Amino acid sequence: MTTTERRGETELSAGFEEIVAADQRVEPRDWMPDAYRATLVRQIAQHAHSEIIGMQPEGNWILRAPSLRRKAILLAKVQDEAGHGLYLYAAAETLGVDREELTEKLIESRQKYSSIFNYPTLTYADIGVIGWLVDGAAICNQVPLCRCSYGPYARAMIRICKEESFHQRQGYELLMTMMRGTDAQKAMVQEATNRWWWPSLMMFGPPDADSPNTRQSMAWGIKRHTNDELRQRFVDMTVPQAEALGVTLPDPELRWNAERDAHDYGEPDWVEFKSVISGGGPCNTQRLARRRRAHESGAWVREAAAAYAAKQEVHP
């Protein structure tokens, strides 16, 4: 690199630092450090993959939803998740990677998706509990991302968060209805809560001391809070909701700590977490196999769309 090039890069880097320090948005046309771009691609791709894989556990119940109303709500929610995946892949494309490449990485297990979607949906109460806890955790984690320093990601998150709020409410309303039902329905809600509570806490990522990316992502304004801060916020928000619902959260260490003005809670099983994110969760193999099959069987649609686009270029 020549002295002039080096000076040019120093100026560009100072411009980037200024944008971040002033809490303004970095846009695709702006210069950005390679590591900032790589971190965004990693996080946005993982987020997009999570939305797409996340359609599977709930999709499992569309045909078995107990009424037309519940079926319509669930269908709309699963379709929203597909939309979220698409906004996020589009945001990643502004960083110079394309969706095809990211999808290949997902189906070859070279990129991650959220741990939570590797757990099975065993009863219909899981649909309500996913809305309440999983979408509740997603909202906690994602509302601060509306202020992410990268413009296209931040703007995609605004719409996603509005839709996630609807998802959370439909889940809670479904559980409220079941809790007014028979003893068997109430027991089903409690049992689903017991299974989803700890995996929901794991969604926020490893404890801060074991999170290699948080410090730098916060310095760049990609993440606005640490994993533990958001996990705590989620616990504090969820405890009164559980009380209103009439279910018990399965943590004997959960109690209000007046000194900290927050709840104390038990340690999630981080060995399980590590196993799930390295492919050893109960449904990892099934989720990826299904995604791979869907990608392969959709090849003709992509080919037809590409052929049509090419024809339009020749004869607009």
Q: Which residues bind ligand 3HC (CB under 6 A)?
A: 42-43, 46-47, 50-51, 54, 81, 112, 114-115, 134-135, 138, 141-142, 202-206, 211-214, 217, 223, 227, 277
Question: How many Å apart are CA 227 and CA 214, to the nearest integer?
Answer: 8
Name residue, tokens 């944008």.
Answer: 19
CB of 1 to ligand 3HC, least distance (A): 29
CB of 280 to ligand 3HC, least distance (A): 12
Nearer to ligand 3HC by Cβ, of 186 and 193: the residue is 193
CB of 161 to ligand 3HC, least distance (A): 10
Nearer to ligand 3HC by Cβ, of 46 and 185: the residue is 46
Nearer to ligand 3HC by Cβ, of 80 and 186: the residue is 80
CB of 101 to ligand 3HC, least distance (A): 16
CB of 77 to ligand 3HC, least distance (A): 8
Alpha helices per DSSP H over the chain = 3-21, 34-53, 55-59, 68-93, 99-107, 125-129, 135-142, 151-179, 183-202, 214-219, 227-245, 270-275, 284-297, 299-314
Torsion of CA 96, 101, 103, 104, to 10 degrees: -160
Say which residues have a Cβ less than 8 Å from residue 48's Cβ, sequence separation at least 6.
84, 85, 88, 89, 92, 102
Name residue, tokens 């399965």.
Answer: 250
CB of 112 to ligand 3HC, least distance (A): 5
For the beta carbon of residue 310, count every other beta carbon within 10 angstroms: 9
Q: How far apart are the first and last CA of the chain?
A: 45
Q: How far is CA 179 from the centre of its chain?
A: 28
Nearer to ligand 3HC by Cβ, of 57 and 186: the residue is 57
Say which residues have a Cβ less than 8 Å from residue 234's Cβ, sequence separation at least 6.
136, 137, 140, 200, 201, 204
Nearer to ligand 3HC by Cβ, of 161 and 242: the residue is 161
CB of 230 to ligand 3HC, least distance (A): 7
Torsion of CA 86, 219, 201, 88, to 10 degrees: 0
- Supply φ then ψ for residue 98, to 5 degrees: -105, 160
